[in-house]
A and B are shown apart, each in its own frame.
Chain A
Amino acid sequence: MGFELKIKGDLMMNKKMLLAGLMITSLLVQAAPKQDDYYKFTRIPLPEGVVLEASGIAMLPNGTLAVGTRRGDIYTVSNPLGKADDMKVKLYARGLHEPIGLHWNDGWLYATQRCEVTRIKDEDGDGRADIFETVNDGWGVNGDYHEYAFGSQFDPNGNMWVVLCLTGSFNSNTPYRGWCVRVNKKGEMIPTASGIRSPGGIGLNHLGDVFYSDNQGPWNGSSSLKHLKAGSFQSHPASYKWWDLPLVKKHMGPKPPVTPNSNSRIPKERERVKEYVPPACVLPHAKLGNSTSGFTFASNEKFGPFKNQLLVSDQSHSNVSRVILEKVNGVYQGAAILFMTGFGSGNIPAYYDPSGAMFVGGSDRGWGARGGKRFALDRVNWTGKVPFEVHEMRAKSDGFELTFTHEVDPKTAGDVASYSMKAWTYILQSKYGSPEVDHVTPKVVGATVAKDNKSVRIKVEGLVKGHVHHLVSGGIRSKDGLPLLHPNAYYTLNEIPKK
């Protein structure tokens, strides 16, 4: 501030100083980088009368984008990677039951409707679908609006993973509500995991492991991203009700897992319920969103240096966070960092096109969203400029390792005062949600910058197993003097690595 004043005072007298002043000014401008410098949004223009409450997105082999809607339509967008003016939206199919999840596979467009997995084809090539084959409809649906079904892309073994929301959000009133089932291309259904509450999205990571998002509510203190694996239990015991079904017994064993105790904590119940898979990454309620939904990942470098990180959207905050996962002691865990905001409506599906375009669409119907539009479909492209961000965050036995997208200024990055940390967890309970509880303040006691200035090893006293560790790296500057575009990282420490 004093420096600035001094320059102002000298300005009129010295041309050299004027130049310096301009340089400083440009530096000051540079000091406030914006999302828009790095990622550009294109809103897909919709013709009058098209209600595109996007619920599924898939690229068709002919280069048009198929978009499913909550009203049960599927539209195609031609030229989806080009200029907005050149896009055309056309009706492809109508009359599906709130399909969520749309995927192209083996010459068919797969849609997961509330009531079944369907594969769809335009056999006569007139641009409109004419074959709707029921692949599997083995689960129950009883007329409750909450009974959504979310279907994934096929996994490497040819299974689609489907998560089935509970009835309301507390009960399971018809078979397989609160379950994850797999559906194979033969049309068989395989009960796969219990404990689901209210999913917001499902998908695979680059390794073919399956994740889904579950929303804050009973047995879920906050929304989170969870790892689905065969035989696992995901927290809500209402799903145990269907253990008597022969198909469940066949694939899941004779008995349900131990019922978790309410008013407890996840690490404690993990010891009792051996099938319990803790949330891989909590997206802390009200901080990163209120309703974690669909996700995707950039399969290449065309979306910036974030290849294979999960790009997880939130319906209520109309944003996307990066979720950077690692496996510690066989359990997925990792950090969530806000990535971008400003989507048009309540984000539901996300799709990454390998050309370097991420599509995110949604609706705010029934569950409001910051975006403000009733429905929207946005495309995001990378400008080629790399924001200064925490690239990865990995747990260590005594702290964390942070890597960065740019070289850091070793002075600020090596100063423990540049960091602060808080940690908390949530009550595991049958009641709705949870406040943040068991607050602690772990202390950053060391910060060692690597020789290449691309990573920092921070030493932390007071890590707590099971807690969300909120690291604020507000003091760090890049080599060019920039602060982090998003200084907050939330790491879910299910396991503390051994030395």
Chain B
Amino acid sequence: MKSQCVSRWGLPVLAVVGLAGNLAAANADLVAQGKVLFQTKICFTCHEVTGGPPALAGVAMKAPKFDGNFWGKERTVTLGFGGKDATVVFDEAYFIESIRKPIDKVVKSAAAPMPPPPAVNDQEMKALMAYVKSLSDGTAPAAGAGGIVAKGALQKFRYRVYNGSWSNLPDFEKLKPVKTGEAKSGIADTNFSKKRDNFGLVIEGELQIKKKGKYTFNLGSDDGSRLLVNGKVVINNDGVHGIINKSGSENLDEGVALVRIEFFEKAGGEHLSLDMSGPGIKKLQLARNTAPQGGGKKPAIATGNPIEPKNNEAVMYRNFIQGASPRGIGVGYPEKLNICFDANALNIVMTWHGAFMDGAKHWNGRGQGFQPPSGHYLINMKRAQAIAQLPDAKTPWPELKLGNNDDDRAKGLRFRGYRLVEGRRPIFKYTAGDTVIEDYVIPEAGALPSFTRQITFTGDGKFYYLAAADDSIEKQGNSWKVGDSLKLTLDSQEKPILRDGVNGKELLVPIEATGKATLRAKYEWDLN
């Protein structure tokens, strides 16, 4: 009886031991499967993961990210979208519920409930859950794991903020910081700088390494950054760029490791992230980015799909372009001159040099938001209509109310599209009654490219062209200085009229069309 008992119980015990080993392997398999499912079930389009690509759709929807230490933690949800608040624990039950019934408990900060994903079966659910669980960095109660001190890992943490405009990391030791400080947070953040453009940061701290071994760091930044550990460059992520993630590894002994992060931000998008993994640590966050992004002062600029003129042909980009109405039409010319024609205002509302546009914002995820022009020397023109039929030169220029309805459309004009002429350059067309107005940009290459705007009227009538509108317009020889950086030269039969109006100073050119009339205005950059 006794021996029988041993044999009956002995076997299962062995099996359990074997199972424990298998369980770890099985979990690794599950995580791997889950990682694939995270793609195929399109979770990735909204839920950003640490070190993963930016989930642009998720930014728009304010979808929760899977980074940091989230598993087992409480989160605030609403019961139904927009419903009453409640608190849930992010655990297995909640995970499954939120996939099966995404509308029941919606994370409060989300801008929309999660659309139901493609069907997830029970096995897939297990795998997805294993993967998502593995993303939680386990920094909190992972005591005894013996890797490193947890959350806020940087000890004796100091930072220095510098102001300046660089294209590569400067030698910060030769510069004078505008601000220095100590931070108890133990986590690096670009928010130490009050400025959001043209600044640099040096962040130094100590890490307590509890276990000798190879540690891997993952540094992401926009613009440039580098990581030094114990004075040695482990990752170089220098230069002006969008978010780029780079990895590097270093063997560390038990004891203190000195960590130094250098970072600079020129203009546009801003990002800094650093995490590490190694013996006993899955993922530990060392740097983050809490500076206002998209919706704040400075929207995140998506990069990665540059659109450039090719084969000596102009290229067009019709989309939500920052600085124009939602009916923006960008044109990039091979002369390195770009314009944005606004099909609501029926005018050129922006012009700039160099790189034309980047499609990344609109070509990834759902494409929410307005993309600013790439390039440089951007000039924002007044968003007013170019042409108006006024009874006299004293009548106020039609005012466009920038908003979401008909009030921001040009008055008395109708957009008719465009045709492409040689080099696929567009001639924009709009009508005022029976009069057809054709609007054509002739760019000129050079150190500072310029352009001539040629407007042709076919029909009869008396019109005015708003050649410029700005806070200051001054006559300079045969030209006009408009604002800080534009030089305008008019080629027209009629004498222009400078007046004060709803758009500040307004420079009006009268046009009397009988059958046909053409006027030209040359716009040059004057940076003096």
Chain B residues with CB under 8 Å of A141's CB are 326-327
Closest Cβ neighbor of B83 among chain A residues:
A431
* Contact bitstring B32-43, A, C-beta under 8 A = 1, else 0: 000000001110
Q: Which listed residue (B119, B329, B367) contacts A145, Cβ 8 A?
A: B367
A114 and B420 alpha carbons, distance in the complex (Å): 21
Q: Tell whether A144 is near chain B: CB-to-CB under 8 Å.
A: yes
Known A285-B116, A370-B118, A431-B103; judge A97-B81 contact (CB<8 A): no
A137 and B112 alpha carbons, distance in the complex (Å): 29
Chain A residues with CB under 8 Å of B119's CB are 286
Give the segment of A27-35, A266-274, A361-369 that binds chain B.
A361-369
Chain B residues with CB under 8 Å of A70's CB are 367
Q: Find out whether the CB atom of B319 lies under 8 angstroms from the CB atom of A97.
A: yes
* Contact bitstring A419-454, B, C-beta under 8 A = 1, else 0: 000000000000111000000000000000000000
Q: Tell whether A259 is near chain B: CB-to-CB under 8 Å.
A: no
Report B90 CB to chain A, min CB distance, Å.
21
Report A365 CB to chain B, min CB distance, Å.
7
Q: Tell whether B170 is near chain A: CB-to-CB under 8 Å.
A: no
Closest Cβ neighbor of B44 among chain A residues:
A368
Closest Cβ neighbor of B331 among chain A residues:
A95
Q: Find out whether the CB atom of A115 lies under 8 angstroms from the CB atom of B420.
A: no
A132 and B341 alpha carbons, distance in the complex (Å): 15
A431 and B41 alpha carbons, distance in the complex (Å): 24
* Contact bitstring A144-172, B, C-beta under 8 A = 1, else 0: 11100000000000000000000011000
Report B185 CB to chain A, min CB distance, Å.
35
Q: Tell whether B94 is near chain A: CB-to-CB under 8 Å.
A: no
Known A94-B316, A134-B415, A432-B81; judge A175-B405 contact (CB<8 A): yes
A95 and B113 alpha carbons, distance in the complex (Å): 32
Q: Tell whether A131 is near chain B: CB-to-CB under 8 Å.
A: yes
Chain A residues with CB under 8 Å of B419's CB are 123, 130-132
Give the segment of B127-135, B253-261, B358-366 that binds chain A.
B358-366
Report B157 CB to chain A, min CB distance, Å.
40
Q: Find out whether the CB atom of A366 lies under 8 angstroms from the CB atom of B417.
A: no
Known A133-B417, A290-B116, A317-B118; judge A372-B366 contact (CB<8 A): no
Q: Find out whether the CB atom of B366 lies under 8 angstroms from the CB atom of A364.
A: no
Q: Find out whether the CB atom of B45 lies under 8 angstroms from the CB atom of A133.
A: no
Q: Find out whether the CB atom of A433 lies under 8 angstroms from the CB atom of B366.
A: no
Q: Find out whether the CB atom of B327 lies under 8 angstroms from the CB atom of A137.
A: yes
Q: Find out whether the CB atom of A96 lies under 8 angstroms from the CB atom of B318.
A: yes
The residue among B42, B103, B316, B364 with the most chain A CB atoms within 10 A of its own CB is: B42
Report B491 CB to chain A, min CB distance, Å.
27
* Contact bitstring A67-107, B, C-beta under 8 A = 1, else 0: 00011100000000000000000000011111000000000
A366 and B363 alpha carbons, distance in the complex (Å): 10
Interface of B: prevailing SS: loop
Q: Tell whether B368 is near chain A: CB-to-CB under 8 Å.
A: yes
A131 and B426 alpha carbons, distance in the complex (Å): 9
Chain A residues with CB under 8 Å of B406's CB are 140, 175
Q: Find out whether the CB atom of A433 lies under 8 angstroms from the CB atom of B112.
A: no
Q: Find out whether the CB atom of B318 lies under 8 angstroms from the CB atom of A113.
A: yes
Q: Tell whether A412 is near chain B: CB-to-CB under 8 Å.
A: no
A453 and B485 alpha carbons, distance in the complex (Å): 84
Q: Find out whether the CB atom of A367 lies under 8 angstroms from the CB atom of B115.
A: yes
Chain A residues with CB under 8 Å of B362's CB are 71, 98
Q: Find out whether the CB atom of B366 lies under 8 angstroms from the CB atom of A134.
A: no
Q: Find out whether the CB atom of B367 lies under 8 angstroms from the CB atom of A115.
A: no
Report B454 CB to chain A, min CB distance, Å.
19
Q: Which listed residue (A140, A143, A366, A372) contacts B405, Cβ 8 A?
A: A140
Known A95-B318, A169-B112; judge A368-B81 contact (CB<8 A): no
Q: Tell whether A194 is near chain B: CB-to-CB under 8 Å.
A: no
Closest Cβ neighbor of A242 among chain B residues:
B405
Q: Tell whether B252 is near chain A: CB-to-CB under 8 Å.
A: no
Closest Cβ neighbor of B366 among chain A residues:
A366
Known A365-B366, A368-B42; judge A433-B103 contact (CB<8 A): yes
Q: List A residues at the B interface (Cβ < 8 Å).
A: 51, 70-72, 94-98, 113-116, 118, 123, 128-134, 137, 140-146, 168-169, 173-175, 216, 285-286, 290, 316-317, 364-370, 372, 431-433
Query: What are 17 pairs between A and B in contact, CB < 8 Å?
Result: A71-B359, A72-B318, A95-B316, A98-B319, A130-B419, A131-B417, A134-B417, A140-B405, A141-B327, A142-B404, A145-B369, A285-B116, A286-B116, A366-B367, A431-B80, A432-B103, A433-B116
Q: List B residues at the A interface (Cβ < 8 Å).
A: 40-42, 45, 57, 60, 80-82, 103, 111-113, 115-119, 315-320, 326-327, 329-330, 343, 359, 362-370, 404-406, 415-421, 424, 429
**8 nearest interchain CB pairs?**
A368-B42, A95-B316, A366-B366, A134-B417, A174-B404, A142-B404, A97-B318, A133-B417
